[in-house]
Amino acid sequence: MSVVSCSLSLLLASAGIVEVEVVVDDTVDLIEINHVSQSTDRPGFTQVIFYDWDAQEGRFQVRTWRMHKQIQQNPYRDWSNGRYTLRFYDKGVLRAVHSQAVRHTWTNYDPELAARQDLPVHQRRGLTSHPKR
């Protein structure tokens, strides 16, 4: 974006002519794109699992997950800071989740569901709450 178009956008936004979209930022320790294929007679699915490192337990713990709905939901490498970023809309809010690591896995079970044995959903940290509008 050029300096002129950026300045114009800021001017229009400050005048209330253009609405500026709020981005909710989060940082996790690992983003996993997990492809689950449970059997030949049941269709599989793809999910994005967000993990934080638990030093006390010595393993990654699931923070939350989302269904992977489209290819645009893949993390991309931001070479300016060396991190991966995943941008997606989540209940009408644009999220940007950053991580130093990404992995792709193919399993015949749901690792997020299995992780509930170690850390129940109600004890997970989750992502940052949506901003108040």
Tell me the pLDDT tens digit for each residue of 39-74: 767 778 999 999 999 999 999 999 999 998 876 778
Q: Does residue 3 belong to any structural domain of this protein?
A: no
Q: Does residue 114 belong to any structural domain of this protein?
A: yes
Give the pLDDT confidence score for residue 5 in this predicted structure. 45
Residue numbers of the domain that contains 94? 21-123
Q: Does residue 84 belong to any structural domain of this protein?
A: yes
Are 104 and 36 contacting, i.e. CB atoms less than 8 angstroms apart?
Answer: no
Those residues with Cβ within 8 angstroms of residue 108's Cβ, 6 or more apart along the chain or in another chain: 36, 37, 38, 39
| DSSP state letter for 2 | -
Q: Does residue 7 belong to any structural domain of this protein?
A: no
- Rounded Cα distance, 84 and 98, in Å: 6
Are 21 and 92 contacting, i.e. CB atoms less than 8 angstroms apart?
Answer: no
Give the pLDDT confidence score for residue 3 in this predicted structure. 46
Give the pLDDT confidence score for residue 70 in this predicted structure. 76
Q: Does residue 74 belong to any structural domain of this protein?
A: yes
pLDDT tens for 1-12 read 444 444 544 555
- Rounded Cα distance, 12 and 55, in Å: 47
Mean pLDDT across the chain: 85
Would the pTM of this model clear 0.75, i.e. be above it? yes
Tally the domains of the chain: 1
- Rounded Cα distance, 17 and 92, in Å: 20
Q: Does residue 6 belong to any structural domain of this protein?
A: no
Give the pLDDT confidence score for residue 121 in this predicted structure. 94
The pLDDT-based confidence of 16 (bands split at 50, 70, 90) is low
Q: Does residue 75 belong to any structural domain of this protein?
A: yes
Q: Where are the beta strands (DSSP E) in the chain?
A: 23-27, 30-36, 45-54, 59-67, 76-78, 83-90, 93-99, 102-107
Does the structure show a pLDDT above 50 at 82? yes
Please name which of 92, 31, 17, 40 lies closest in space to residue 66, comparing C-alpha atoms: 31
Q: Does residue 50 belong to any structural domain of this protein?
A: yes
Report the SS3 class of residue 71.
Answer: helix
Give the pLDDT confidence score for residue 22 in this predicted structure. 84
The pLDDT-based confidence of 90 (bands split at 50, 70, 90) is confident
Does the structure show a pLDDT above 90 at 15? no
Give the pLDDT confidence score for residue 21 in this predicted structure. 74
